[in-house]
Amino acid sequence: MDDSKTKNEVDLPANQKVKKLLKTNLNTKFAEKAEALKAQLYDWIDHPLSVIEFKPEADAFFKCKAVQKHPIEALPSLSYGKGDQVILDFGSHRVGYLSFHLEVDGMNVDAPTRLRLTFGEIPYDVTEDLHPCNTGISTSWLPDEIINVDWLPTDVEMPRRYSFRYLKIEVLDTSPRYKVQFSNVRVRAMSAVSPAVSVAVTPLQSTDEELKSLDRISQVTLRNCMQTVFEDGPRRDRRLWLGDLRLQALTNYCTFKDFQLVKRCLYLFAALPRENESLPACLFEKPKLSAGSDYIVDYDALFGPTLYDYAVASGDLETANELWPTVVGSMKMALSHLDKDGRFDSDASDAWKFLDWSDGLDTNAGMHGLVLYCCKKVNKLAALISKPAPHTEDVQTMIKAASLFYDSAQAVFVSGPDRQISWASQAWMALSGAMDSRTCLKAIRTAMNDHRAVKPLTPYAYHHIAEALARCGGQEDCLKLMREYWGGMVRAGAETFWECFDEEDPRRSPYGDCHNNSYCHAWSCTPSYLLRVVLKEHLEGEVSKGDLRFGSFNSLLFLTDN
């Protein structure tokens, strides 16, 4: 037994352990370009709306509901002593810096005031003890702070940035001679998206209130993740991940249209190639630009499609040309996993293949589809900037090899030695155009109706399933899935979409403890993209008929690549 490991630690899966850290070859030119593109952050002031408490509620997702305890106007007159607490509700999710005035109610301030402040994205954060936390990632991410204030009255400004809706303040100690009062509680909220840009987004062309709600919450999720980079989560991990960036950028193009922030993030990754030309899965801005130690094969390969999407959306072919060598290098590791028949073999290296956090997911079929998808997008990028397509033969070989994953008797793609059926495998095979749209749509539907199939856990995977359904002609299937999954989060109380969601288990976590989950997470922001781009023609046709839910299928806006 490793004596250094506490009983509350969860061991990392083998494919996430870094066995050899490859050298980063910093591209100073690209790093300087990225720095010059650094976003201007906008700020605005938010105040709490009420003093609340949580009451048990058996039917609620988190088994409790918030009720007003005092109107917010009463807060400055309320006194709190040792052992007391107050919970403030800001009404919605925000990212920013907290400040408040701390007043004294008593004879003498003969000892410091010790406070614990807990910033809650969901009720569990402020209704339960955060410690101990049985998790495989650092508990320093937990959103609580203990501060000591020597002299009152005074203004208190918290130096760290927080991501929250609820604020719980516990008075750990004062002295018998005085209590404290709180007033002028405020948050200086921050985003790369200004309030003016946020409210100016063209309304979704729909009369369906549920879909409009999904669109609105998607935009709030994305806005709160858009800081000096596209963060994966403003509470945790507060860094840039390549797979997340692709989905954030797609949603940004049809909402806020901040092309400069996407360009900055592309240059940041291009500034940090590893010695084998692969790209890190994530990167850090502070204390200086550096590559994360995590490497994910699928994220590496998705750099090319991300650049292609940017070039098409922005018209910036100069950047596409300059970053073309980075694209070529980013495909090498993924393609090295193809066997002699052109079939992706996850066991060809011990590098991490992600696709989703779902338990026991076999990645062979899904990765085959993803790499085929990336090869096609890179070929399209080459055509856009007048370069020879580098993966013509790879595409032909991989399309032929895709049939080796297809089980015609079951009408699904199977993966690995146990011939596993998963939603993710069907999604990526469909998105890649591995077979015709009719076959792929049937495969997705078959897997979704098979109780043995491995279901996704994260919105990242659910997005690809939803998009695959729509692009294969299953627009109504896509809408149904969106209503069930993202709509399920809304019914559970989400004001921003979450890192993971299981409607049967509010404590589900990829990390062992839901207290370390992120409840405003980048890869969940895509309903706006699905509704505004992928389903645009379908929804516009249904609006014209006055029936969103039961209209006939329209022609597909985006044909699957074949």
- Each residue of 448-471: pLDDT tens digit? 999 999 999 999 999 999 999 999
Q: Is residue 232 part of a domain?
A: yes
**Considering the chain, what is the average pLDDT of its residues?**
95
pLDDT in tens, 233-245: 999 999 999 999 9
Residue 521, pLDDT > 50, answer yes
- pLDDT score of 428: 99
C-alpha torsion sign, points 217, 184, 190, 287: negative
Q: How many domains are there within the chain?
A: 2
Mean pLDDT check: name the lowest of 9-23, 43-57, 131-145: 9-23
Residue 4, pLDDT > 50, answer no
Reading the block at residue 220, the tokens are 């709030």
Whether 512 and 134 have beta carbons less than 8 Å apart is answered as yes
Q: Is residue 71 part of a domain?
A: yes
| 230 in the same domain as 131 | no
Residue 8, pLDDT > 70, answer no
Owner of token pair 């994260």:
458
Model confidence band, residue 543 (pLDDT cutoffs 50, 70, 90): low
Residue 35: count of CB within 10 angstroms of its CB:
14
Mean pLDDT of 140-168: 98
Burial of 58 (C-beta count, 10 Å sphere; 0-12/13-18/19+): exposed
Residue 562, pLDDT > 80, answer no
pLDDT in tens, 247-259: 999 999 999 999 9
Q: Is residue 4 part of a domain?
A: no
How many Å apart are CA 7 and CA 34, to the nearest integer?
A: 42
How many Å apart are CA 321 and CA 316, to the nearest integer?
A: 9
The whole domain housing 157 covers 47-190
- pLDDT score of 20: 80
Q: Is residue 88 part of a domain?
A: yes
Residue 557, pLDDT > 60, answer no
| 439 in the same domain as 377 | yes
70 backbone dihedrals φ, ψ, rounded to 5°:
-145, 150
| 126 in the same domain as 270 | no
For position 109, which CATH number holds? 2.60.120.260
pLDDT in tens, 472-517: 999 999 999 999 999 999 999 999 999 999 999 999 999 999 999 9
Residue 74, pLDDT > 70, answer yes
Model confidence band, residue 1 (pLDDT cutoffs 50, 70, 90): very low
Model confidence band, residue 527 (pLDDT cutoffs 50, 70, 90): very high
| 168 in the same domain as 210 | no
- pLDDT score of 32: 99
Residue 12, pLDDT > 60, answer yes
* 3-class secondary structure per residue, 470-529: HHCCCHHHHHHHHHHHHHHHHHCCCCCCCCCCCCCCCCCCCCCCHHHCCCCCHHHCCHHH
pLDDT in tens, 365-392: 999 999 999 999 999 999 999 999 999 9
- pLDDT score of 16: 73
Nearest to 222 by CA among 186, 248, 183: 248
Residue 554, pLDDT > 80, answer no
Residues 6+ apart with CB under 8 A from 319: 263, 266, 267, 307, 310, 311
| 215 in the same domain as 96 | no
| 358 in the same domain as 259 | yes
Q: Is residue 376 part of a domain?
A: yes
| 508 in the same domain as 479 | yes
pLDDT in tens, 20-58: 889 999 999 999 999 999 988 999 999 999 999 999 999
Domain boundary among 142, 164, 190: 190
- pLDDT score of 418: 98
Domain boundary among 190, 217, 241: 190
How many Å apart are CA 513 and CA 460, to the nearest integer?
A: 20
Q: Which H/E stretch holds residue 243?
A: helix 242-253
Residue 14, pLDDT > 50, answer yes
Q: Please list the alpha-helical segments (H only) found in 279-331.
A: 297-301, 303-314, 317-322, 324-330
Model confidence band, residue 19 (pLDDT cutoffs 50, 70, 90): confident
| 426 in the same domain as 294 | yes
Q: Is residue 41 part of a domain?
A: no
Residues 6+ apart with CB under 8 A from 473: 437, 438, 441, 553, 556
| 295 in the same domain as 244 | yes
Mean pLDDT of 525-532: 99
Model confidence band, residue 95 (pLDDT cutoffs 50, 70, 90): very high
Q: Is residue 488 part of a domain?
A: yes
Residues 6+ apart with CB under 8 A from 265: 34, 229, 230, 240, 245, 249
Residue 3, pLDDT > 90, answer no
Residue 7, pLDDT > 60, answer no
For position 454, which CATH number holds? 1.50.10.10
| 356 in the same domain as 282 | yes
Q: Is residue 81 part of a domain?
A: yes
- pLDDT score of 541: 85
Mean pLDDT of 516-531: 98
Domain boundary among 190, 221, 247: 190
Mean pLDDT of 166-177: 98
| 436 in the same domain as 310 | yes
| 211 in the same domain as 145 | no
- pLDDT score of 39: 86
Nearest to 426 by CA among 407, 412, 438: 412
Residue 548, pLDDT > 60, answer no
pLDDT in tens, 387-445: 999 999 999 999 999 999 999 999 999 999 999 999 999 999 999 999 999 999 999 99
Mean pLDDT of 279-289: 98
- pLDDT score of 391: 99
- pLDDT score of 507: 97
Reading the block at residue 249, the tokens are 């950028």
What are residue 55's DSSP bridge partners? 65
Give percent of the chain above pLDDT 90: 92
